Chains A and B, each alone.
Chain A
Amino acid sequence: MAAEVLDTIVTAETPEGILLELKPAGLTARLYAFLLDWMIRLMAMNVMLLILAPLGGLGVGLWLVLYFLAEWLYPVAFELSRSGATPGKRVFHIKVVMDNGLPVTPAASLTRNLLRVADLLPLAFGFGIVWVLLRRDAKRLGDLAAATMVVYEPTPAVRPSLQGVPPMLPSIPLPPRDQAAVIALAVRAPTLTGDRLDELAALAAGVSGDAGRQGPEVTRRVLGVAQWLLGHRA
């Protein structure tokens, strides 16, 4: 399928034989999330220092232990939480999952975060960046070894609203993929400008017997066909 060339979607098969689609998060989203997490950690540790410093030696000792925990176990703790994402990742709507789409396991979370050290080399996340850019599933070395992936949170589906468009019988028999294309156009219709919608509808004008013509009237008829394909009858 042509879509496979453009998309980076990774599929994971469930025991029921269906394919779950995972959308790997690329370098930009992950980098932003990392920087945000880094700033959050920095601020939290500074606040802790303000609180603990007055306690003297004991406070500083405690702070150092906290620092160690924050540096190494901050991502692990958050990835094992319900959302499966650190606060930074949550802001950018990405999360960590196993290759098979399940929530990340403690073992995988710990190893992927410890292996970040390898991604840091030779400097400034060199290996990590190269791996994320080169791989279709955007895994860094730690993800590769721990069998995890950083994916986008699924976005809720939008129902097409075609109120007021009278359904219209297609003028030619349509194979399923063409039907899907016409319906997909109808779903996108509200997000497009009028002119662009007319242009796109003109490409599909054959379905309503208007091949070669363009304009709001043709668009209305194409959307009518979509309405009919969805199952609406006059």
Chain B
Amino acid sequence: MTPLRFEELHAHEWTELETLLASTPRRKRESVSLRQVDDRGPERLAALYRRTCEHLALARERAYPAYMVTRLEQLTSEAHQLVYQQRVFGLGALRHMIAVGFPKAVYRDARYIGLAAAVFFIPTIILGVLVYRSPELVLSIISPESAAQFEEMYSPTASSIGRTRSADTDWIMFGFYIRNNIGVAFQCFAAGLFFGVGTLFFLAHNAAFGGAIAGYLTERGLGSTFYSFIATHSAFELTAIVLAGGAGLKIGHSLLAPGRRSRTAALVVATQESAVILYGVTVLLVIAAAVEAFWSSAGWLNPVIKYTVAAICWAAVLGYLVIQGRHAR
């Protein structure tokens, strides 16, 4: 059969499929599904898709001209995307993720998250206590200039906690810290790709830094401004860092011990499973950023109110994860 004869015989089906595809809005709403494509329903589209697949196979086997093979390739690939696309959007899916998916995934990966928490909190406490006892140790972690800057930022006379006094630079510094703190969580996850070592490093590194600053400022008598500043948003931020670290350790472990899969395949599976946790981490970090920007920096609020709100936030975050996680198991 000559290419032109082949085209003559089947072109009407290709044109019909092209029209069907063009008239289908994709990914607008969940309600817009194959059913609305045409009166004859998805059957027609699926049938045409399979026919076109057949034609493509024939055209390739018979080495028909490139323009025809390309047209069929594009047609099948477009139809393939429509027929097999996953619809995972929508409020229902979101509600399910918040109520079940996220806490369940946290529970499933509790081993990794527990390890991440240990690697994060133990150095924090050790460094905090050490620096509190001998403050000069802080200089082995940060420069004298930064130490002075932190001291100034959290001094009770500062116009707004967490910022330096110069009006020009205060929001720049502030922005820098928000970006930095939030980036840390994602960094802890991504560094897991290096067999988990990167995650361990970033967790411990940030923990040492945070612990040293806390110990230093406490020793300096600035504890009340410092803790009232970080208490609330840390409920979201530290949780997010530990969860992201757990996800990082998970992908690192999948590379170290892939089991019966290839390393790449094990990595893909671990990454897919971590995705749910990362959704949660992202939401927690957005909350943390908003709280840090609007609530934590408000110096005029009584520390007692701040501590109360902070306690409620911590209880809410941990309670949600534990209760919903057990529930979903």
Report which A residues bind B (CB closer than 8 A).
14-18, 20-21, 57-58, 60-62, 64-65, 67-69, 71-73, 81-82, 101-103, 105-108, 110-111, 114-118, 121, 141, 144-147, 154, 156-160, 176-177, 179-180, 183-184, 187, 229-232
Contact = CB atoms under 8 A, between A and B. Distances in A.
> In the complex, which of the residues A82, A103, A184 has the most CB atoms of chain B within 10 Å of its own CB atom?
A103
Closest 10 CB pairs of A and B: A231-B4, A231-B2, A107-B275, A61-B293, A117-B190, A157-B70, A180-B63, A176-B63, A16-B53, A157-B67
Contacts of B76: 14, 16, 18, 20
Interface string B193-230: 11000100000000000000000000000000000000
A111 B179 CA distance: 19
B271 A111 contact: yes
A114 B289 contact: no
26 contacts: A14-B76, A15-B84, A16-B49, A20-B76, A68-B182, A68-B286, A82-B26, A101-B77, A103-B85, A105-B88, A106-B89, A108-B275, A110-B278, A111-B275, A114-B186, A115-B189, A116-B190, A117-B190, A147-B271, A147-B272, A156-B70, A176-B63, A180-B64, A180-B66, A231-B2, A231-B6
B73 interface: yes
Interface residues of B, number: 67
Interface stretch (B34-42, B124-132, B170-178): B170-178
Contacts of A159: 67
B179 to A, nearest CB: 7
Given A105-B88, A184-B65, A145 B271 contact: yes
B6 to A, nearest CB: 8
B5 interface: yes
Interface of B: 2-6, 26-27, 49-50, 53, 56-57, 62-68, 70-71, 73-74, 76-77, 80-81, 84-86, 88-89, 160, 171, 174-175, 178-179, 182-183, 186-187, 189-191, 193-194, 198, 251, 264, 267-268, 271-272, 274-276, 278-279, 282, 285-286, 289-290, 293-294, 297
B327 to A, nearest CB: 23
Contacts of B86: 102, 105
B57 A114 contact: no
Contact of A67 (B2, B65, B175): B175
B171 A115 contact: no
A154 B182 contact: no
Contact of B80 (A101, A110, A229, A231): A101
Given A68-B285, A160-B67, A180-B63, A102 B3 contact: no
Given A61-B294, A101-B80, A232-B4, A114 B67 contact: no
A62 B175 CA distance: 11
A114 B189 contact: yes
A7 to B, nearest CB: 13
A229 B198 CA distance: 60
B179 A18 contact: no
Contact of B53 (A18, A116, A156, A230): A18
Contact of B268 (A145, A156, A180): A145
